[in-house]
Amino acid sequence: MPLMRSWVAGANAPDCDFPLNNLPYGVFSTDGAQPRCGVAIGDSVLDLRAAEAAGLLPLAGGPYFPAPAWNALMAAGPETWAALRADLIRLLSDGAAQAEQVRPYLVPLSAVRMHMPFTVAEYTDFYASKNHAFNVGTMFRGPENALPPNWLHIPIGYNGRASSVVVSGTDVRRPWGQLKGPNDPAPRFAPSQRFDIELEFGAIVGQPSTAGRPVTVAEAEAMIFGYVLLNDWSARDIQAWEYQPLGPFQAKATATTISPWIVTAAALEPFRTPTPAREKELLPYLAEARPGLYDIALEVGLTPEGGTETVISRTNYREMYYSAAQQLAHHTTSGCAMRVGDLLGSGTISGPEKDARGSLLELSWGGKEPFTLEGGATRSFIDDNDTLNLRGAARGDGYRIGFGECAGKVLPALADPYAR
């Protein structure tokens, strides 16, 4: 699909994250005003609460934008999602008849503060990149036992904390926890020394399922409203001590950062790409009728306080072994009901090359191979006051579909976490 041209400044530039082809959804505020829903276009944000109140978005069943969250629009269903996108394209396309009526509701992107774009109902994180799973398994169990015996048959995941999800730009405090090295006689309570990121892709569930009734992969695909970049911050030393036998708990509960803009499934449709050839045949309920991944280039930047950013990883979402729709379908097999606003993390996305690994655990091979930043400093894991920034974009014919930044700064651990 070629670039869809818009009358809004900046929207037609080839390096713009937010052309008319994209139209991602967020929640923003300006000058202390109340947060409200908006759509990014070029160098601006269209205030949808004001545009809807002015009668420019005559969606059946509305109003949808009095509240500063996209949950009401998600709950309205795919026909309403499509109607809104069609209305926005009509209003923002080159030569739009109502351009002058829309113009007063555009706000410069440079003047806005972003907020959580939706209310998270539940949060589930998966472990669905074969390269990542193989790397981590090799470190702990050797290459011959790297993948768990179920990994090629089932999308592995765990239920996380919805309360941990924060929007890009939120500082993250280094956590305390129980730590025990291999030669320590007993655990100790201390700040994590092996704090890490996980470069992930988040799928947002826009339609519920019924308790007791699993959904197919095709049905799951239709339930997904859109996608965000996702950083599942991870305390590797806390995780190493706690994870057996039930898996991640406190090591993954500090924070999960998401990008502020929801890129819709409709915007990503031209970038579909298939999941890889299966080494083991999947059970029929996980079968896909069409390509389930997207060609989205991803990168991670690390910036020390007062320093220069170094891009430490470049990879692509197409490296995943299981798609978001497969993960969502599997999630319902027990009869678990999914809700509007559920968030599914893809799991760490790693490519086959060393510089395509999606976590510092892999990049430094468990701390044994520190890597060098611009300016000469080295890292094995995250230092205090480092800022980590995830970015991603799909590239079309003369345009890109961007997600905005997914950034967070790691603050030092509290001197005494129980001081009141």
The answer as to CATH 3.40.50.720 being correct for domain 25-115 is: no
- Residue 124: its pLDDT value, please? 98
Q: How many CB atoms lie within 10 A of CB 161?
A: 16
Cα distance between the two ends of the chain: 57
pTM, 2 dp: 0.97
- Residue 244: its pLDDT value, please? 87
SS (H, E, C) the chain: CECCCECCCCCCCCCCCCCCCCCCEEEEECCCCCCEEEEEECCEEEEHHHHHHCCCCCCCCCCCCCCCCCHHHHHHCHHHHHHHHHHHHHHHECCCCCHHHHHHHEEEHHHCEEECCCCCCCEEEECCCHHHHHHHHHHHHCHHHCCCCCCCCCCCEEECCHHHEEECCCCEECCEEEECCCCCCCCEEEECCCEECCEEEEEEECCCCCCCCCCCHHHHHHHEEEEEEEEECEEHHHHHHHCCCCCCCHHHCCCEEECCCEEEHHHHHHHEECCCCCCCCCCHHHCCCCCCEECCEEEEEEECCCCCCEEEEEEEHHHCCCCHHHHHHHHCCCCCCCCCCCEEECCCCCCCCHHHCCCHHHHCCCCCCCEECCCCCEECCCCCCCEEEEEEEEECECCEEECCCEEEEEECCCCCCCCC
Q: Which of 362, 367, 395 is nearest to 294 (CA)?
A: 395
Where in the chain are the domains? 25-115, 123-411
Q: Mean pLDDT of successive 10-residue segments in the chain (420 residues)?
A: 96 97 98 95 98 97 97 98 98 98 98 98 97 95 94 97 98 98 95 98 98 98 98 97 92 98 98 96 96 98 98 98 98 98 98 97 98 97 98 96 98 95
* Catalytic (active-site) positions: 132
- CATH code of the region 123-411: 3.90.850.10
- Residue 215: its pLDDT value, please? 98
